[in-house]
Amino acid sequence: MNTTKVIFTTSNKLLSRIIRYVTGSEFSHVALLIDKNFILHSSVNQGVRISAGQFQNRTGVNLMSKDDFLDHGNTIVHSIDVTNRMTHRVMDDIIPCVTAKKSIYDTPALIFLGIAMLAHKFLGTPMPRKNYWQSSGAMMCTEFVTQHVFGEVDSLITPQELYEKLKD
């Protein structure tokens, strides 16, 4: 049986440090760990790739070995088994994800979320109910995971908020 875990990760990369500062979280990224050996995630800087990099684009959905993921300076902070919560089998999505030509990272949605969180943190403005810069067909890491775990994209959830939602 295929097992799937949501993993919550961090690194010392600049974007990871910025995300942790803005969200007040110990982690900055979320991904799916499939069968203990493969990481499936949306990444801003690693591109579409399988393990050693046979498929490469600039940004988007990635499939890589767990060892390769950790070798890129990532640290797994928490993991939550979601095998029984999945809306469908993630393994069915691997080939379409890594071969899709429109597999890009949702950078505008990430920027919008960051601005909204900073405004909330420093100015006390309420968080918006919609991410107005979300790009159709593109996904940031939390959008990718929420689509596969809950069956719908959430473009306003942070890795910390997703952790809080799943841990119960």
Contact 165, 80 (CB under 8 A): no
pLDDT tens per residue across span 49-104: 444 343 444 456 777 889 989 998 999 999 999 988 765 555 565 555 555 544 67
The closest of 64, 100, 99, 82 to 2, measured between CA atoms, is: 82
- Give me the number of domains the chain comprises: 1
Residue-number span of the structural domain to which 97 is assigned: 4-167
CA-based Rg of the chain, rounded to a whole angstrom?
A: 15
Considering the entire predicted model, what is its pTM? Answer: 0.85
Average pLDDT over residues 107-129: 95
Query: The sheet that has 29-34: what strands, in order across it?
Result: 60-65, 38-43, 29-34, 4-10, 75-81
CATH number at residue 54: 3.90.1720
Contact 166, 149 (CB under 8 A): yes
pLDDT tens per residue across span 123-138: 999 999 999 999 887 8
